[in-house]
Amino acid sequence: MVQSITIETASQENKQVRRIRITGWILFSVVGMAVGSGTAGMGLTWDESMAHFWGSEVFRAWLSHAWDTLLAGQWSVLWDPAFHGKYWPPVTPENQKFFNFNYHPALTRILPTLAWFVFHGWFGDIVAYRMAPAILFALAVMAVFRVMARRFDSATGLFAALSLALMPRVFGHAHIAATDTAMMAFWLFAVVAFYKGLEDKRWSYGFAVLLGLAFSVKFTGVLIPLALIMYMILAREKRAWRNVVVAAVISPVVLIALNPTWWVDPFSGVFTHYLQTALSRDQFVPTPAYYLGELYPVHAPWHYSLVMTAVTVPVAILLFVLLGAVWGVRQRADKWVLLVLSQLIFYYLILVLPLSPDYDGVRLFLPVFPFLACLAGLGYRGLRDWVFRNMDRWPPLIKWGRKRIVALIFLITFTWPALQLADSHPFYLEYYNGLTGGVAGAHRAGFETTYWFDTVVPSVRDTINRFPLNSRVGVLPPVVDYLRYMQDHGLLRQDLVFTQTDMDYIILLPRQSKFRDFTWDLYHRQKPVFKLSLEGVPLLLIYRKPD
């Protein structure tokens, strides 16, 4: 009898695992298609055109040259700094200011390149590059679902996964082939692998590899071990030392192996061209922030990240995040719950420091959002269980039944965020929630409207392409190389002249942190010949040259 019960229990567990696995892949497919189908509609961003796409093109050239050289038997080229430097010049303060320079490690060139090889024949270059972050985001949504479903239940996992998928800013970044979605995904993957590695030593090796990949996205990855050390201290988790030892050996090897320019002198590569450059970037590429109606030349106030989180996550999801935070503190003895809390506490503590970069909306702290989504899942679970425990007090709820109550919670929570997400297309990065009164309210409150040129959507390019023959076109902020990149890749007419002098037309991106006196005057007093708006707020304007 005992053996029969054991076999039946094992069979039920296997069925549950299969259901979770299948549901996870369904989520991956739906989210991947939702993002991938919208990538062509979002404007080409500043960083993509000026660093990442070019970096992927150079990486393909390096691969081709290296392959041909190796076939010729010239293996010594792998240790030739001049050969690698031809494609990836060394990181210095001076070349940071150059167009088409990407000082980050190579992974965000490698992944879009792999996506390009698979998809460019069907979708063209830009969409092909952007399939890399789309896939990573879909994997992140699946990972959130699976870890929460396995630890709690499928409904909790689904709630957490939908919470992440329906955050407009995060969903929007999944369309963009830069470092930010990749950093978010690999931070999450590394933490999940770390958690699994507490029980299964095979996952200790998985953690080490994923941590090395996170290092290879950008410097932010170096913070992951520090966040995990916080967890180890709080949890007094001795089993984590196996993860630490394995990662200490394997993760640096992964980082160096993916960066050919560091093969000859790894210490100098990691220290000078990775750690030192990242920590001193503000000295040679200072980035201002516009926040609550004030311009901050380098760093916004300490509360920037907290406020930006509060005003860019849909309110319904935000409420469950807060419920989950309360429930999570009460359930902090749970290893996964404490791990989630420690990631959030650590990251926000870093963000409130005076030297932390605070600009460009939420993109520099995207790694917090999967963990906020996990908190939302915990909030759902806490509310659901409370309702179930108190159903006897409300007879109508008994008639409804538990499944209908769960469906109602999902319906109330996600219907409006889903409609908002659809309505925001393709301006996800300009989204603000109801706490500010939407985009219009945020504009009145002094939040930055836009920042990354993602509003140069196909209709804007069509307008530019209707300018008279040989028109001289300028842009503010003054990055004419952005327009030249689109011209070189067939998106803008070849006869157009992009310049910052003697202009016939001026394209203005309302990135208020880059405004100067002339820009403010143009923005407030001059009448544009073209205006792209959302909720009455200008997202892009085109002017005839003022007399």
Reduced 3-state DSSP string for 218-257: CHHHHHHHHHHHHHHHHHCCCCHHHHHHHHHHHHHHHHHH
Whole-prediction pTM = 0.93
What pLDDT, on a 0 to 100 scale, did the predictor assign at position 265?
A: 77
Tokens 């093109």 identify what position?
A: 57
Q: Looking at this protein, which amino acid is placed at residue 456?
A: V
pLDDT string in tens for the chain (547-residue length):
555 555 555 566 678 889 999 999 999 999 999 999 999 999 999 889 888 888 888 889 888 888 888 888 888 877 777 777 777 766 665 555 554 456 678 898 899 999 999 999 999 999 999 999 999 999 999 999 999 999 999 999 999 999 999 999 999 999 999 999 999 999 999 999 999 999 999 999 999 999 999 999 998 999 999 999 999 999 988 889 999 999 999 999 999 998 887 887 777 767 776 776 666 665 666 789 999 999 998 789 999 999 999 999 999 999 999 999 999 999 888 999 999 999 999 999 999 998 788 889 999 999 999 999 999 999 999 999 998 888 777 777 676 778 888 899 999 999 999 999 999 999 999 999 999 999 999 999 999 999 999 999 999 999 999 999 999 999 999 989 899 999 999 999 999 999 998 999 999 999 999 999 999 999 999 999 999 999 999 999 999 976 5
Length of the chain: 547
Sign of the CA dihedral with 156 first, then 174, 128, and 224 last: negative
Q: How far apart are CA 109 and CA 9, in angstroms?
A: 47
Alpha-carbon distance values, 74 to 66, 85, 88, 125, 259 (Å): 9, 17, 20, 31, 20
Rounded to whole angstroms, the Cα distance separating 477 from 164 reads: 32
Calpha distance 37→122 (Å, rounded): 13
Contact call for residues 307 and 461 (beta carbons, < 8 A): no
Of the three residues 290, 325, 360, the one that is the final residue of a domain is 290
Is 445 a domain residue?
Answer: no
Report how far residue 201's alpha carbon sits from residue 183's, in angstroms, rounded to the nearest whole number.
25
- Residue whose structure tokens are 């062509």: 40
Q: And the tokens for 432?
A: 């603000």
Alpha-carbon dihedral 86, 89, 94, 99, rounded to 10 degrees: 80
Domain annotation covers residue 199: yes
- Could you give phi then psi for residue 254, rounded to 5 degrees? -60, -45
Residue 165 in contact with residue 141, Cβ under 8 Å? yes
CA pair distance 289, 279, nearest whole angstrom: 18
Q: Which two tokens stand for residue 351?
A: 């963000």
Query: How many structural domains are present in the chain?
Result: 2
Residue pair 49/479 in contact by the 8 Å Cβ criterion = no
Residue type, 495: D
Which pLDDT belongs to residue 128? 95
Q: How far apart are CA 180 and CA 360, in angstroms?
A: 11
- pLDDT attached to residue 99: 44
Q: In terms of residue numbers, what domain contains 247? A: 20-86+97-290
Burial class (CB in 10 A: 0-12, 13-18, 19+), 24: buried
* Nearest residue to 130 (alpha-carbon basis) of 174, 189, 66: 174
Cα 156 to Cα 176, 281, 367, 383: the distances in Å are: 29, 41, 20, 11
295, part of any domain:
no
The CA distances from residue 110 to 114, 121, 131, 188, 449, in Å, are 6, 18, 13, 20, 32
Contact between 344 and 371 under an 8 Å Cβ cutoff? The reply is: yes
Beta-bridged to residue 472, according to DSSP, are: 497
Residue 8, in any domain of the structure: no
Bridge partners of residue 296, in order along the sequence: 289
Q: How far apart are CA 410 and CA 71, in angstroms?
A: 58
Decide if 9 is inside a domain: no
End-of-domain residue from the set 233, 260, 290: 290
Output the CA torsion 303→304→309→315 (10° steps).
80
Q: What span, in angstroms and rounded, lies between the C-alpha atoms of 266 and 260?
A: 10
In a domain, 468, yes or no: yes
> How far is Cα 261 from Cα 38, in angstroms, rounded to an integer?
35
Contact 363, 332 (CB under 8 A): no
Residue 317 resides in a domain: no
Q: Which of 252, 273, 290 is the last residue of a domain?
A: 290
Yes or no: say if 528 and 489 are a contact pair by the CB < 8 Å rule. Answer: no
| DSSP of 125-149 | HHHHHHHHHHHHHHHHHHHHHHHHH
CA atoms within 13 A on the CB side of 98: 14
Q: How far apart are the first and last CA of the chain?
A: 93
Q: Are 296 and 108 in contact (CB under 8 A)?
A: no
Residue 425 inside a domain? The answer is no
CA pair distance 106, 256, nearest whole angstrom: 10
